[in-house]
Chain A
Amino acid sequence: MGNRITVPAALCALLFLMVAMPHVGLLGQYGVTFLCTMGIYIILSASLNLVNGYMGEFSCGHAGFMAVGAYTSSVAGVFLFVPDQVFGQPWLPMALTPFAFPIILAAGFIAAALAGLVVAVPSFKTRGDYLAVITLAASYIIKSAIENVEAVGGPRGFAGMGKIVQGMDSMAPIPWMLVWIFLGVTFTIWILRRFVYSTYGKGVMAIHQDEVAAEIMSVNTNKMKLIAFMLSSGLAGLAGGLYAYLISFVNPASFTILRSTECLVMVYLGGMGSLSGSVLSAIVFAILLEFLKPLEQLKWVAIPLLLILLMQFRPEGIMGNRELSDVFPKLKRFYRFK
């Protein structure tokens, strides 16, 4: 029993540190923003791993779903709390923002999950390269659609979310976005871990390893694909919502193929079909991006180069399809992959 407490206890301690450290000046604005970015990367990488790693499809349109979540959460928040030219007077007082924020994020999740249907349904009949093209097309459609909606600023982008974050700050002086992102990461890992560990979720891995056998051995493959795509895109939408509030601004240019590529790099860096791999690779990737910042655009030479080297020398990624607790069995004292 004692072991089962360890992980929640560690999470609570972490959360406490995150709230307390900036308070006593141990963690500056730079550090907070960096941790936030890292958290968003973890959500993106872990959620894409469900489709590309566990299910073995090649989705390269993750940024599209992130965009759907980002815009939905932004519009929902501004509509409810901020006076806006298009959306008019706010419906709710600022004091409610800390309570309404999970609902705002949930709206982004749901909208992105529904957008996931756009690729889930073709996946019933198509796979491999063709499906990859469909996911790419879907992300372009989403981006162009947003560019053409004047109400959300078209290509110029959409702002106003900063007021909501300020609203939360005025309620209590804690690093709100860090807290929300931490909770978002915890939720993502929690839901994915429970999914892939269950016999139910292992149907997804059966599809990866032999779809014909899966179908014949009673796995409802269409339903499993639907769930996997929707869960994955929904979580990308959650990451999008958090991102929008973190930088208080969204524009279509933030959700290009480059963003999807980042997600792909993290999945392959961490290892397909390894959740701990996805978390590790997102951390490594965020640190790497920070170090490569002075290179400006040149970092997009450095990162692919890194990917090529990785594919040459360790094609299975950091973790392969194993989990941290498989590599270091002693960790099982503290948590099991269940």
Chain B
Amino acid sequence: MALLEIKDLTQRFGGLIAVNDFSVTMEGRELNALIGPNGAGKTTVFNLVSGFYQPTTGSITINGVDTRGMKPHQVTSLGVARTFQNIRLWNDMTVLDNIRVSQHYRLGYSLADALLRTRRYADREAAIERTAMELLEFMGMKDLANEFPPNLSYGIQRKVEIARALSTKPKLLLLDEPAAGLPSTDVVELIKLIEWIHKEFDLAIWMIEHQMTVVMSLCQWIKVIDFGATIAEGTPEDIRNNPTVIKAYLGDEAI
């Protein structure tokens, strides 16, 4: 059974067709990319997969479960996590709390347990905190547990956001432009980080990225969309030399 199966997905916003007849299959464990010029509809695809929008037509199945009608938090509990094009951490919470709260779908205790401070509450809270600390330690950010995100550099905030996504124990990690706004030295770090995550965590990664160095050095399979429709797909080698892709990008730049 495929991890992610998108069939004939179309998303309209009024008269605008943001995603047009889009299909993709991921079996699991891949590291793929979704690229295309600005406004091509890439983020919209991620928003659809994470349950934030309901598709106009078409279907999305995750591990065989059709996600139509599901709320984002339910999709997350199926094993999909994501980061955002503009970092969206909770800025008035510590890094540790950010990673605790994102385990909300598997808290394992009820409101009554929280109010009565039952045994189960204590055990589960301890486990949640342990999971969070272990993850931070594993990613080399243990010292940052009690920091607030705005006090961290942009690159570190990106890393915290990725850690937060990982804390939901995803099978599919969606990264929306992880290299956006990073200085070039940090981009090298980021490439290493994504490679490492792909190796260490048992998951598939699907990312949107404008920086070709990142895409070309990491991804096995690339899909290119323009105006919501697929214009090319293939290995980095295929894409690099594809005239349609070059035209879409150059055309975009000429405006």
A residues with CB within 8 A of B: 191, 194-195, 198-203, 205-206, 208-210, 212-222, 227, 273, 321
Contacts and interface: CB of A to CB of B under 8 A. Distances in A.
Contact of B114 (A201, A206, A208, A215): A201
* Most chain B Cβ neighbours within 10 Å, of A199, A202, A216, A219: A216
Nearest to A212: B88
Contacts of B165: 217
B163 to A, nearest CB: 12
A219 B88 contact: no
A203 B104 contact: yes
Interface string B85-113: 00011111100010011111101010100
Interface of B: 50, 52, 71-73, 76-77, 81-82, 84, 88-93, 97, 100-105, 107, 109, 111, 114-115, 117, 121, 125, 128, 164-165, 168
Contacts of B117: 194
7 contacts: A200-B104, A213-B89, A216-B72, A217-B81, A218-B73, A218-B76, A221-B73
Contacts of B107: 199-200
A238 to B, nearest CB: 15
A215 B50 CA distance: 10
A332 B104 CA distance: 28
Given A209-B90, A216-B84, 11 more contacts: A194-B114, A198-B121, A199-B128, A200-B107, A206-B93, A209-B93, A216-B72, A218-B73, A218-B76, A220-B105, A273-B92
A215 B100 contact: no
B93 A202 contact: yes
B101 A210 contact: no
Contacts of A273: 92
B73 A200 contact: no
A199 B104 contact: yes
B111 A227 contact: yes
A202 B52 contact: no
B158 to A, nearest CB: 14
B71 A215 contact: yes
Contacts of B89: 210, 213
Contact of A215 (B52, B111, B128, B164): B52
B86 to A, nearest CB: 10
Contacts of A214: 90, 101
Contacts of A212: 52, 84, 88
A217 B164 contact: yes
Nearest to A338: B117
A301 to B, nearest CB: 34
